[in-house]
Structure formats: C-alpha cells, structure tokens
C-alpha cells in the first residue's frame, strides 16, 4: 500500500517505518513524507532513505478555522496527487479537521506515547510521572474526529521504574513505539485489521 507519513520533528517513528518498509516483503511502501515544519529532522531521514518529501508549512495558511481548513485541503490534495492509500501520523503536532479525518477514515493511523484511553494529549510523560503510574506504554490507533480516541490497533506496555524522569520514561516507551508502529501498519496494509463502524472490524493477529 502506498503510505504517507506525516511528521513535525525528530522523526524516529518515521525512521522505524522506513526501516520496516525497506524489507522486500513489507506490505507498505513509504511513498511520501510530509512535514508541516521545513526544519524537521525527519525530512533528512526520509531523504537518506530515498523517500519523496514535501513541506506544507502551516504558517503559510493563516490562523483560525479558515487557515486550518486550507492547510488540510493542501494536505489532502498532496496525498491524492501521490496516490496515497494509507496515512501514518508520526509526531505530527497538528490537529486535523473533522472534514479531513472523515475523508481518510479507516486509512489514517496515529501513534501516542501512552496506554490510551489514559493520558491523551500533550506532556504525557510528565503527567504519567506526576500521577505515579507504574505501567506506561504506547498505542497505535485509527484516527477519528476526537483526539487520541480512535479504535485501538495495538499497544505495548513498559514499567515505570524508580528514579524515572520524563526523559528516561520517554526513551523506554519510544523503543516500543518503534516496534509497534511497523507491526500495526502491517496489519492494516495487509487488510488484517480494518475500521468498522467505530471499532476494529477485524484483527486477526495481535501485533
Ligand atoms: C512520539 O513519542 C510519538 O508517540 C508522539 O510524538 C513523538 C514523536 O517522536 N506522537 P518522533 O518524531 O517519531 O521521534
């Protein structure tokens, strides 16, 4: 499946998808990497791997609801032009409009560094440490209109250890993110998992 990865920064999850997709039997091809920030480190990762890149700078679309809709329209046009079938959000730090999400429903995946539905949103690691949770992890889910709330494709858990700060915990979770995302994209690309009416309709194999 022709897959686009949307990033805003570092791009280590993008890297894990590029690495997985370099195997001949992997069912998804990273056919486009889009960043909303021209200086995203992930763009260099994509170029190194020979994946086409595109910057759609959100600052050029103005503020407010109209700017957001115009940005998402440009995104949609770029994905269509590249004949993209699946879209993976990987550290993409922008909320997508319900219109865009509806267009890509069932073909739009996200990774989040918590065991959803706990700890949606930002500053997840700080909040988990502050809350004193003993188990943390990451989640790959289908994107629906509500942020970090779509049907879950896969999760991986890690312990929170004594002495952890947000950075140490983030590093432990990130290691699992890099395993989980390629596994979940594989499930969707192979048609073994798909979005039904608001839930996962088929999930043959747990990643
Ligand atoms: C990851 O922790 C991901 O779960 C979250 O943002 C971070 C992106 O990291 N959505 P990277 O850009 O993939 O290195």
DSSP structure string for 9-48? S--HHHHHHHHHHTSTT-S-EEEEEEESSTT-HHHHHHHH
Mean pLDDT for 7-12 is: 98
- Which is higher by pLDDT, 38 or 203? 38
Is 137 near ligand 1, meaning CB less than 6 Å away? no
Q: What is the pLDDT of residues 162-174, one digit of tens each?
A: 999 999 999 999 9
In 3D space, the residue among 72, 121, 61, 141 whose CA is nearest the CA of residue 101 turns out to be: 72
Q: What is the dihedral of CA 3, 107, 87, 95, to 10 degrees?
A: 180
- Mean pLDDT estimate for the chain: 95
**Residue 94: enclosing H or E segment and its boundaries?**
none
Is 140 near ligand 1, meaning CB less than 6 Å away? no
Is 112 near ligand 1, meaning CB less than 6 Å away? yes
In sequence order, the 6+-apart residues with CB closer than 8 A to the CB of 72 are 96, 97, 99, 100
pLDDT score for 202: 63
pLDDT score for 203: 67
Is 90 near ligand 1, meaning CB less than 6 Å away? yes
Confidence band for 206, pLDDT divided at 50, 70 and 90: low
Determine the 3-state secondary structure of 61 from DSSP: helix
- 117: preceding bond cis by omega (within 30 degrees): yes
Confidence band for 37, pLDDT divided at 50, 70 and 90: very high
Q: What is the pLDDT of residues 49-86, one digit of tens each?
A: 999 999 999 999 988 999 999 999 999 999 999 999 99
Please report the domains of the chain, with CATH numbers, ordered by start residue. 1-104 (3.40.50.170), 112-207 (3.40.50.170)
Q: Which residues are annotated as a binding site?
A: 11-13, 68, 93-96, 110
Ligand 1 atom 5: residue of nearest CA:
91
* pLDDT at residue 185 tops 90: yes
Atom of ligand 1 nearest to the CA of 170: 2
Active site residues: 112
How far, in Å, from the CA of 8 to the mean position of ligand 1? 9
Percent of the chain at pLDDT exceeding 70? 96
pLDDT score for 11: 98
Distance CA 2, CA 5 (A): 10
Q: What is the CA radius of gyration of the chain?
A: 16
């Amino acid at each position: 499946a022709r897959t686009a990865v949307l990033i805003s920064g570092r791009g280590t999850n993008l890297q894990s998808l590029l690495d997985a997709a370099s195997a001949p039997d992997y069912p998804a091809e990273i056919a486009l990497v889009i960043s909303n920030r021209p200086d995203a480190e992930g763009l260099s990762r994509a170029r190194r791997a020979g994946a086409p890149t595109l910057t759609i700078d959100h600052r050029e679309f103005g503020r407010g609801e109209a700017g957001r809709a115009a940005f998402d329209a440009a995104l949609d046009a770029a994905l269509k032009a590249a004949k993209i079938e699946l879209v993976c959000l990987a550290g993409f730090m922008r909320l997508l409009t319900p219109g865009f999400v509806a267009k890509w429903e069932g073909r739009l995946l996200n990774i989040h560094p918590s065991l959803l539905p706990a700890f949606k949103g930002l500053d997840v690691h700080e909040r988990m440490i502050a809350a004193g949770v003993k188990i943390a992890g990451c989640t790959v889910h289908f994107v629906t209109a509500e942020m970090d709330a779509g049907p879950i494709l896969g999760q991986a858990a890690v312990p929170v250890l004594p002495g952890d700060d947000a950075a140490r915990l983030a590093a432990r979770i990130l290691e699992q993110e890099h395993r989980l995302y390629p596994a979940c994209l594989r499930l969707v690309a192979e048609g073994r998992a798909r979005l039904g009416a608001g839930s996962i309709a088929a999930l043959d194999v747990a990643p």
